Amino acid sequence: MNGNKILKFIILDILRNKWVITYTVFLMCISAGLMFFSKDSTKAIVSVLNVVLILVPLVSILFCSIHIYNSKEFIQMLLSQPVKRSTIFFAEYTGLVISLSVSFLAGIILPLSFYGVSTILIYLALTGVFLSVIFSAFSVLISISTDEKVKGIGISLFLWLFFSVLYDGLVLIIYFAFNDYPLEKIMVIITTLNPVDLSRVLILLKLDISALMGYTGANFQKVAGSMTGIFLSFTVLIMWSITPLYFAYRKFMKKNF
Amino acid sequence: MINAENINKYYGKFHVLKSINLKIDKGQIVALMGPNGSGKTTLLKCILGLVIADSGEIKVDGASIKNNFEYRHKIGYMPQTAYFPENIKVKDVIQIIKEIRGEKSATDFELYEYYGIENFTDKKISSLSQGMKQKVSSALTFMFDSDILILDEPTAGLDPLSAEYMKLKIKKEKDKGKLIIITTHILNEVEELSDRMIYLLDGEVRADRINDSSGTKNRAESILEKFTDLFKSYEWK
């Protein structure tokens, strides 16, 4: 019961934050603009997807880190009240995820839905929400584990850079270094180890445009096949959502405030 | 009322609280004193469950606080610095605490009224000065008529008049039979308010004395002398 009250309170606080409003408006401009100027809706969705894959993890991880560090004293105040630690943890995390997901859905999915609701749009919505969930969980884990704000935000930024930029480069290096070996199955496993790549593959498998899929995506389709690939992607995304959250929860329960 | 047995706390290799044993009964004002970093706030936070002791046991009214959160219904806590979420209004903060603790348990509005909080309940927290936030925090601490009040430097950041009123309020609550634990660096405040003084140094209880305010002309000076001697005699590692 107390959890719902705290959750409501946190969502209200976050949704009034000017950065969340800016994020929503910015996403709206991008999705509406790309859709307006593009004649082919598939190409427009791929362009929106590329923005989503870069921007959603970045904003989620940065915003959550800053929010948790700024809320430290408020969390202390809640902890000094007759409320369970776990209730506060889940209220904070759920509040962040709901607010960021609402911003994403309002910013990206709402403008695109004016051009018609399709399965691909639902997939785009799901992957965007998953990315918010996963990177918020990582961010909460980092912020709880590191007391120093600058260090915590630095680690968060590095994690984003690693998953969004460095990872695909490393995959290519591995591919060229071990070109003579049968790497296809290993590459599928490597793809699932990156939630950003996984989200990209998930959408592109649905769009069925292998030319735009990049190396990891093309490989994924070849090995897993479309429907199996989509099912596998969602399963792994769920695992990606639960794992950092579990470790963050354990840390929070033992943390000294 | 509060019983701490053999409390030890480490922050990494730093031994912050060293085998603290304390028994504090109701109906008194206890001043927790000591230089910066002596473990005062950590001890208070251990009682509140904000910091988890590495060993030992704390009991409030005979019940262990381990894995227990209900006991905090009996405690009102005023932190050293009041921070609330910036994007919401004062009335929202008051409402959430009321909802958590139960609307009906909010019975004491004396500080709320004296500090005129009603006049700025529609203001956003971000527009308040630190002193005003401190007033909101103190009004909330006393609002629920808790049996135990833990006040971490309660007058810091308040204007002289508000600080005086706060002291009067603390005395009134003590007369009701409550237990009040305060930390402060202001010796006059200790002399004026406390019934018992506990002096922490390097994580150990170095002195635990009943404040007998009769006879001495200037108790604050006397307390200062005693604790300066104690501080100087301590062998720093």
- Three-state secondary structure readout of A130-154: HHHHHHHHHHHHHHHHCCCHHHHHH
C-alpha–C-alpha distance, residues B19 and B16, integer Å: 10
Contact flag B92-A9 (C-beta cutoff 8 Å): yes
3-state secondary structure of B53: coil
Q: Which helix (H) or strand (E) holds B5?
A: strand B2-11
C-alpha angle with apex A167: A163 to A173, nearest 5 degrees?
A: 175
Give alpha helix (H) positions in B62-218. Answer: 90-101, 110-114, 130-143, 160-175, 187-193
- Contact between A73 and B93 under an 8 Å Cβ cutoff? The reply is no
Nearest by CB to residue B50, choosing from A13, A79, A254, is A79
Distance from CA of A183 to the nearest CA of B (A): 45
C-alpha–C-alpha distance, residues B1 and B83, integer Å: 29
C-alpha–C-alpha distance, residues B234 and A222, integer Å: 74
Contact flag A74-B84 (C-beta cutoff 8 Å): yes
Distance from CA of A82 to the nearest CA of B (A): 5
Chain B residues within an 8 Å CB radius of A70: 86
DSSP structure class, residue B58: E
Q: What is the residue extent of each domain of chain B? A: 2-233
Q: What is the pLDDT of residues B72-85, one digit of tens each?
A: 999 999 988 887 87
- Number of other CB atoms surrounding residue B122 within 10 Å: 9
Amino acid residing at B174: K
Calculate Rg over the CA atoms of chain A.
Answer: 19
Q: What is the residue extent of each domain of chain A? A: 2-254
Superfamily the domain B2-233 falls into: P-loop containing nucleotide triphosphate hydrolases (3.40.50.300)
Chain B residues within an 8 Å CB radius of A2: 99-100
Q: Token pair of B195, please?
A: 């019934």
Interface test with A, best of B96, B149, B181 (most A CBs within 10 A): B96
C-alpha–C-alpha distance, residues B1 and B100, integer Å: 24
C-alpha–C-alpha distance, residues A121 and B132, integer Å: 49
Amino acid residing at A243: T
pLDDT of the residue at B237:
47
C-alpha–C-alpha distance, residues B4 and B24, integer Å: 9
- Number of other CB atoms surrounding residue B75 within 10 Å: 24
- Contact between A195 and A240 under an 8 Å Cβ cutoff? The reply is yes
Instruction: Give the full edge-to-edge strand order of the sheet including B63-64.
Output: B14-24, B2-11, B55-60, B63-64
C-alpha–C-alpha distance, residues A173 and A205, integer Å: 24
Q: Is B12 left (phi over 0), alpha (psi -120 to 50) or beta?
A: left
- Contact between B101 and B177 under an 8 Å Cβ cutoff? The reply is no
Nearest alpha carbon to residue A217 among A231, A240, A233: A233
C-alpha–C-alpha distance, residues A75 and A202, integer Å: 37
Q: How far apart are the first and last CA of chain A?
A: 24
Per-residue pLDDT of chain A (257 residues; tens, 9 = 90+): 577 888 888 888 888 888 899 999 999 999 988 888 887 777 788 888 888 999 999 999 999 999 999 888 889 889 999 999 999 999 999 999 999 999 999 999 888 888 877 888 888 899 999 999 999 999 999 999 999 999 999 999 999 999 998 998 888 888 888 888 877 778 778 878 899 988 887 887 777 665 555 666 666 666 666 677 778 888 889 999 999 999 999 999 999 98
Distance from CA of B202 to the nearest CA of A (A): 19
φ/ψ of residue B58, rounded to 5: -115, 130
φ/ψ of residue A181, rounded to 5: -100, 155
Cα A189 vs. chain centroid, distance in angstroms? Answer: 19
C-alpha–C-alpha distance, residues A191 and A168, integer Å: 9
Contact flag A256-B11 (C-beta cutoff 8 Å): yes
Nearest alpha carbon to residue A132 among A9, A14, A5: A14
pLDDT of the residue at A214:
61
C-alpha–C-alpha distance, residues B63 and B70, integer Å: 10
CA-based nearest residue in chain B for residue A15: B87
Chain A residues within an 8 Å CB radius of B101: 81-82
- Contact between A189 and A174 under an 8 Å Cβ cutoff? The reply is no
Q: How far apart are the first and last CA of chain B?
A: 34
Nearest alpha carbon to residue B102 among A219, A233, A81: A81
Contact flag A9-B88 (C-beta cutoff 8 Å): yes
Nearest alpha carbon to residue A92 among A5, A10, A20, A156: A10
Chains A–B, number of C-beta pairs less than 8 Å apart: 74
Calculate Rg over the CA atoms of chain B.
Answer: 18
Nearest alpha carbon to residue B223 among B181, B180, B194, B203: B194
Given a cut of 70, the residues of chain B with pLDDT beneath it are 212-237
Distance from CA of B90 to the nearest CA of A (A): 12
pLDDT of the residue at B85:
78
pLDDT of the residue at B224:
64
DSSP lists the bridge partners of residue B7 as B20
Strands B75-78 and B148-152 come out as: parallel
User: Touching check for A5 and chain B: CB below 8 Å?
Assistant: yes
Contact flag A76-B11 (C-beta cutoff 8 Å): no
Amino acid residing at A216: T
Contact flag A73-B83 (C-beta cutoff 8 Å): yes
